[in-house]
Homo-oligomer: A and B are copies of this chain.
């Protein structure tokens, strides 16, 4: 099952600057070979459900390993069985207002 995800990992108890931890998650996604795109309030990811959610688990493990005692993450996850759709397709559909 293919999934498109929006991921926002927030480490708690490490002070006000969190970009080191978000950058670590970017590394996890790159190492996993997953298509992903950083934006100002999260990261979009597309891929096989199991691969994507395994990577999200690794994000939590790696952010804890960097010293964050607590993490709260927000995930949006979209699946569809009617047709294939990439992250770019979703953007194009809105831009062209044709989907």
Contact = CB atoms under 8 A, between A and B. Distances in A.
Interface in A62-97: 64, 69-82, 87-88, 90-91, 93-95, 97
A19 B77 contact: no
The CB with the most chain B CB atoms within 10 A, among A37, A44, A76, is that of: A76
Tell me what chain A mostly uses at the interface: helix, strand, loop, or mixed.
mixed
A18 interface: yes
Given A16-B80, A53-B53, 17 more contacts: A4-B40, A10-B12, A12-B16, A16-B69, A18-B99, A20-B99, A22-B93, A23-B97, A41-B44, A41-B90, A42-B76, A49-B57, A70-B82, A71-B79, A72-B76, A72-B78, A75-B77
